[in-house]
Structure 1
């Protein structure tokens, strides 16, 4: 995967994938073996744990959708992008954040570091 904008689009799509088998296939396609996802609320090491983490977020926010929050910035093997989580495509977001991804030489996700900028108060 050489186009980082497309990579981020597929990454967001994986977070929106509700079918467990399709979600796992997306994670397998996007992340390198042994990849990680870490944010203030989760640590997932390996593809199985990453897919489970995504499923857990979907369970916590049923029916919500992730969407890109702005431009994608990249240099060397690093990608930075913002995202939003909302109850529907056109609704105001309830969670905003940004992720920094470290890519492998072939353009797959090796490590994703997530940060939360806006979170629900309840």
Structure 2
């Protein structure tokens, strides 16, 4: 995946999974984009999760989701919380970059639909398998 256009199209499909209102279409996108044992690591979870982990003596937790079923639950919950109410959309914030063969990175934003204002975002660092499906996705929220 070396061509900018192809990488941009891939990134657009990645972003589409988070915005997709139809659960069946969302699940199909996840199966298309992710390896069956694909792993997403939320590197810096929300403060409430970090505080709860600190209370258990875990200083810097990350949250991990593996496999199509768990990824579908994760993406669906993000959709319910942030997109379904109709105020926001997720979109790529800039052009994706190839860091090394099969390793890409891009920034994303959560944007207010009515105004175009960015109210959140992050950085994805993704490792792809030989079929250009996600093997690992390290997500850094708040890094936009």
TM over 0.5: yes
Number of residues paired by the alignment?
Answer: 119
TM-score, normalised with respect to structure 2: 0.75
For residue 109 of structure 1, report the CA deviation from its aligned partner.
Answer: 0.9
The answer to whether the Cα contact below 8 Å between 1:12 and 1:68 also exists between their aligned partners in 2 is yes
1:83 match: 108
Pair 1:73 & 2:87 matched: no
- Structure 1 gap segments, 5+ residues each: none
**Distance in 2 of aligned mates of 1:112 and 1:46:** 12
Change (3 A) 1:91 1:110: same
Which ranges in structure 2 are unaligned for 5 or more consecutive residues?
A: 46-62
Which position in structure 2 is the counterpart of 1:98?
Answer: 123
How many angstroms apart in 1 are the aligned matches of 2:115 and 2:73?
Answer: 27
| CA drift at 1:45 | 0.8
1:6 aligns with 2:15: no
Q: Choose 1 or 2 for highest CA Rg.
A: 2
Once residues 104 and 11 of structure 2 are traced to their aligned partners in structure 1, the CA distance between those partners, rounded to angstroms, is 9
Q: Give the TM-score normalised by structure 1.
A: 0.87
After superposition, the CA RMSD in angstroms is 1.9
1:25-36, aligned counterparts within 5 Å? 25-36=28-39
Q: Report the CA distance between 1:90 and its aligned residue.
A: 4.7
